[in-house]
Structure 1
Amino acid sequence: MSEPKAKASCCSASRSHIQAAGDPQAEIAAPDLAIPHSGAHAVSQPMVLLQGGTFRMGTDSAEGFPADGEGPAREVTVSPFYISPYAVTNREFAGFVEQTGYKTEAEQFGWSFVFHLFVSDELKASGVQSPPGTPWWLAVPGAWWRDPEGPGSDIGERWNHPVVHISWNDAYQYCKWAGGRLPTEAEWEFAARGGLNGKTYPWGDLLKPDGQHRCNIWQGKFPIKNNASDGFIGTAPVDHYEPNGYGLYNMSGNVWEWCKDWFSADYHRKTNSINPLQTADASGNRSMRGGSYLCHRSYCNRYRVAARSKNTPDSSSGNIGFRLAADAGK
């Protein structure tokens, strides 16, 4: 297992990379994303109303990745909106599936990306594919949200963990069913900062205040050894660790969270300063925020609140989830 290159975007993997490598599933028809029911449905977690306001979005810090379009930092204003305190859980997503019969893209494609340490030696020996340059991601047949490590795994003790193996398209359909939407990048960052302007993390500038872990990220030597000193090798419960100043949990680490925007490295230069939203598809990718349990400072310190990443809207993996947002008044 080779070590990652510095600052490589290796916290997620794109379905298109496997298809381009000759995946036999590449020629299947596009998944049917229509759901039989839509509209406002009750979800188990309450929404937090944020009054909006003006804040400094992005960063000019040397810690940032210029290629990701983290800067230039600028003043941005967002209107009042609702956001869930937690990422959507396995339990909540199961309720959606039970009511609608929805099948995720991972199910319809027949595979999803799983981190190599969670895959059996037997399955590895069968010749599962990896995207170019990221051998720690394996395209595992039968991996989906109910079997997150592939056949034989389950979520029996993870009902309160974030649902994973969810594509942007899947997240969009859940939000539509729940009567909400995905947060914009600006809303997500405003919420993640918790009222602390210009700080590195949702709680301040120190990663471990008083030596205490405040998020679920990688500890050890990536991608070989995770000593799990924060208590978790994979996902953590959605309400673990302390919330930020707005009462929101796990805005750093745990799982990447899809946002409404299309991804653009010129985001700060091309979007408005009031309720910015990247509506044009300039890259074929949707935006993700927050980092995941696989992020480590040595190669991907994207668990900072200003950090950004991207993936194709049909991609899914064991470290991508989402949370619900809604316009104020809904």
Structure 2
Amino acid sequence: MVDSPALVRVAGGEFLMGSDRHYPEEGPAHPVRVGDLEVSATTVTNRQYQAFVEATGYVTVAERPLDPADYPGAPAENLVPGSLVFTMTPGPVDLRHLSQWWTWTPGACWHRPEGPGSDLTGREEHPVVHVAFEDAAAYASWAGQDLPSEAEWEHAARGGLDGADFVWGDEAVPGGRYLANFWQGGFPWRNDRADGFAGTAPVGSFPPNGYGLFDMAGNVWEWTTDYYAARHPDPAGSACCVPTDPRGPSVTDSLDPAQPQFAVPRRVIKGGSFLCADEYCLRYRPAARRPQMVDTGMSHIGFRTVRRPVPVGDGRGGG
């Protein structure tokens, strides 16, 4: 029996996707229409991912041996499986340099989240992390589901609050109440844990949005199927031409022009994470988006799944 999160029906409709008030990559805001959808109420947990691995024998990208041909000139001792692990710094740092708080850690993977010597004890209901895009897609396929497009994810995250800054409204901490797991304090060296958590939180620790979906803000970033472009396409400018169920740009357009030596496609991740700090990454919002190389998992990226209605007459319906 497949072990996966419960699905919540989210009615389709038109909404304003993106934002012109925050980071450049979120604009231009534009109307989009999406279809009906069933969305997993939470992100996939460590327990659920373990059930998938035990049932299939699947090996994640972070656990696979590296091919020296893919890394010309790299020292052999560096070509070992692993993943990027967040590490707090001893004090304030220049926030332009991510390498100060991200450490390539041999042996780090979904069931050893901080590397050798770590495990999932007490974190069974936390979101699975260190999953590359194909790791998330493999689970979704096993569950008979899919990963959401960017538009589907954002529509679901908004919970009916079209145009609001956050999934619960326009105030980050309404009435002093924390409604998501994000960073409070001086990033990346001091976490005040005002929301109750220093790292990931068990799924469902905060109230759901208007559609009954948990953790659509903070906790972990979530994979979508769309390839990344630095901006949304310009809106059509006519109500008759509102795009329906749009998909992102081509795989070629997703490559990072600043790093041509890494010809690795990038997909859109959404939702922000426990590492989002207001002075550095105010991205625990539905419009927020970031690129992520498809072959790279990290300690703040997970996923949730969706199921789309089966079209009438395609031969797969019941009788």
TM-score by length of 1: 0.80
The alpha-carbon distance between structure 1 residues 270 and 148, as it changes in their structure 2 partners (threshold 3 A), is farther
Does the Cα contact within 8 Å between 1:49 and 1:328 map onto a contact in 2? no
Alignment of 1:289-300 (within 5 A): 289-300=270-281
Q: Which one of the candidate residues 16, 25, 29 is aligned to 1:56?
A: 16
Q: How many aligned positions are there?
A: 275
Measured after TM superposition, the shift of residue 44 of structure 1 is 3.8
Supply the distance in 2 between the matched residues of 1:313 and 1:260 (Cα, whole angstroms).
10
- CA-based RMSD: 1.9
State the AA in 1 paired with 2:271.
G
TM-score by length of 2: 0.83
The alpha-carbon distance between structure 1 residues 196 and 132, as it changes in their structure 2 partners (threshold 3 A), is closer
Q: Which one of the candidate residues 276, 287, 292 is aligned to 2:246?
A: 276
The one-character-per-residue Cα deviations of 1:251-293 (angstroms, maximum 9, x if unpaired) are 0100000001001123333897110111511122111000000
Measured after TM superposition, the shift of residue 305 of structure 1 is 1.0
State the AA in 1 paired with 2:52.
F
The one-character-per-residue Cα deviations of 1:153-177 (angstroms, maximum 9, x if unpaired) are 1111011100000011111111111
Q: Which one of the candidate residues 55, 67, 70 is aligned to 1:99?
A: 55
Alignment of 1:11-22 (within 5 A): none
Measured after TM superposition, the shift of residue 133 of structure 1 is 4.3
Residue equivalent to 2:181: 216
Residue equivalent to 2:74: none
Q: Which has the larger radius of gyration?
A: 2
Residue equivalent to 2:144: 179
Q: Which one of the candidate residues 28, 36, 39 is aligned to 1:80?
A: 36
Residue equivalent to 1:114: 85
Supply the distance in 2 between the matched residues of 1:182 and 1:57 (Cα, whole angstroms).
18
Residue equivalent to 1:306: 287
Supply the distance in 2 between the matched residues of 1:217 and 1:133 (Cα, whole angstroms).
18
Measured after TM superposition, the shift of residue 98 of structure 1 is 0.3
State the AA in 1 paired with 2:131.
I
Measured after TM superposition, the shift of residue 59 of structure 1 is 0.9
Residue equivalent to 2:304: 323
The DSSP-based 3-state class of the residue aligned with 1:170 is helix
- In the alignment, structure 1 segments of 5+ residues that lack a partner are 1-40, 120-130
The one-character-per-residue Cα deviations of 1:164-213 (angstroms, maximum 9, x if unpaired) are 00011111111111111100100111000000111011100111112111
Identity among equivalent positions (%) equals 46
Does the Cα contact within 8 Å between 1:60 and 1:73 map onto a contact in 2? yes
Residue equivalent to 1:138: 103
Does the Cα contact within 8 Å between 1:235 and 1:293 map onto a contact in 2? yes
State the AA in 2 paired with 1:290.
G
Measured after TM superposition, the shift of residue 303 of structure 1 is 0.8
Please identify runs of 4+ aligned residues in structure 1 that moved more than 4 A: none
- In the alignment, structure 2 segments of 5+ residues that lack a partner are 66-80, 91-95, 237-241, 255-264, 311-316
Residue equivalent to 1:159: 124
Supply the distance in 2 between the matched residues of 1:44 and 1:118 (Cα, whole angstroms).
36
The alpha-carbon distance between structure 1 residues 133 and 237, as it changes in their structure 2 partners (threshold 3 A), is closer
Does the Cα contact within 8 Å between 2:89 and 2:189 map onto a contact in 1? no
Does the Cα contact within 8 Å between 1:118 and 1:149 map onto a contact in 2? no
Q: Which one of the candidate residues 20, 23, 48 is aligned to 1:65?
A: 23
The one-character-per-residue Cα deviations of 1:224-255 (angstroms, maximum 9, x if unpaired) are 11111111111001111100000000101000
Does the Cα contact within 8 Å between 2:4 and 2:44 map onto a contact in 1? no
State the AA in 2 paired with 1:320.
I
Does the Cα contact within 8 Å between 2:89 and 2:101 map onto a contact in 1? no
State the AA in 1 paired with 2:196.
G
State the AA in 1 paired with 2:8.
V
Residue equivalent to 2:259: none
Residue equivalent to 2:216: 251
